[in-house]
Amino acid sequence: MERAESQSSPQADRLAPLRGLLRAMIVPVISVVVALAIGAVIISVSGANPLVAYRALFEGGLGSARAIGRTFEKATPLIFGGLAVSLAFKCGLFNIGAQGQLLLGAVFAAFIGFSLQGLPAMAHIPLALLVGAIMGALWAAIAGTLKAFTGAHEVITTIMLNFVAFNLTDWLADGPWKDRSPGNIVARTPAVAPEARLPDIAGVPLGMILAVLMAIAVWWLIWRTTIGFELRTVGQNASAAKYAGISVRRMTVLAMVASGFLAGLGGAIETLGVVGRFQPGFNAGLGFQAITIALLARTHPIAVVPASLLIGVMQAGASRMQFNSGVASEIVDVIQAIILFFVAAESLIRWVLRLRAEEGERVTLSSGWGS
């Protein structure tokens, strides 16, 4: 018997990561299924056929090469936003200001894109992306510094900074950076130079490729570096981290700066790869949807990619669902909200299904108020 146990242990050890992955996927998968089921009920009540609606929804996001390309466009800024929120969560910070950081990155990338002429693409694109990412990082650094040195909670400060970013970018797009071309009356910047537009590589948008590479880089940073270890330690127990000699203040500021960098980079890619200019309203809600992405991925950087693709499919196919079945495209927003509700109310799902969370399986989202 002892020999049999000793032979089965190595196999059990090899399967342990797979079992952990499957257990971690239970709540997100069930949340999506329940949200789709509730969405089907709402569609039925509205007088439409849920099967027809959902078929059109997924055909609109995956039914052709053009639909897949549209899904990639929708998913790319969501990946960066999801990574930004997830990285902050790892340090116990709730960066609800990703929307404002994304807007700053988008408008400054547009400024670099249209104001500099004659630069080759090899210099223009990296410069615009870098400026957008840095502006997002600087904007997030304000909240991180206030949190580290005054105790001001990042949820409050980032919400306030969001309002400032909304109005600041609106003013820039309707004031000094407004497109003054004849006939234009809307608030928007001029189109970026052709050399600043992100190209496609083998049919895949360059922004999508960068997003996947960034997800791998963030995973490596969090799980394979000393900085990542310190960041996670602060997120799990700031007092223990301080006792171990880790500078909680430094990690708090660093985590917010890195989070803002990712959000700003997402906004820059949205400008250079999708919209081609900055126009208020085109980026609306991306930062807030990033919270849904991060929770659906359980703050795992790699899982952010499929979670973003799922939301990207739903957004890309919303118009086709509305056209084919007559269901309002806003039903997709309702489904996303229900997904967010269930992944946030993890205890409810576990109580209904009688699932017990093992040690370390729960996601720590933020430190307490005033801490």
Tens digit of each residue's pLDDT, the chain (371 residues): 444 444 556 665 666 666 666 666 777 788 788 888 888 888 888 788 888 888 888 888 888 888 888 899 889 999 999 999 999 999 999 998 899 999 999 999 999 999 998 889 999 999 999 999 999 999 999 999 999 999 899 999 999 999 999 999 999 999 999 998 888 888 899 999 999 999 988 878 899 999 999 999 999 999 999 999 999 999 988 899 999 899 999 999 999 999 999 999 999 999 998 889 998 877 677 777 888 888 888 888 999 999 899 888 888 888 888 777 777 777 777 877 777 777 766 666 677 666 666 655 555 555 544 44
98: CB partners within 8 A, 6+ apart? 81, 84, 85, 259, 260, 263, 287, 288, 290, 291
Amino acid at 41: V
d(CA 275, CA 284): 13
Q: What angle do CA 88, 90, 93 make, to 5 degrees?
A: 45
What pLDDT sits at residue 70?
A: 87
d(CA 69, CA 62): 9
d(CA 13, CA 346): 27
What pLDDT sits at residue 230?
A: 93
Q: Is the dihedral of CA 362, 366, 369, 370 positive or negative?
A: positive
With contact defined as beta carbons under 8 Å apart, do 289 and 59 qualify? no
Place of tokens 């500099």: 116
Amino acid at 117: Q
Q: Is the dihedral of CA 20, 297, 339, 209 positive or negative?
A: negative
With contact defined as beta carbons under 8 Å apart, do 88 and 256 qualify? yes
Q: What is each CA distance from 28 to 21, 33, 34, 51, 298, in whole angstroms?
A: 12, 9, 10, 22, 8
Closest CA to 84 of 31, 128, 132: 132
Place of tokens 């105790």: 151
Terminal CA-to-CA distance of the chain, rounded, Å? 52
Amino acid at 313: V
d(CA 180, CA 192): 14
Q: What is each CA distance from 106 to 110, 197, 278, in whole angstroms?
A: 6, 13, 6
In 151-205, which ranges are continuous DSSP H helix? 154-174
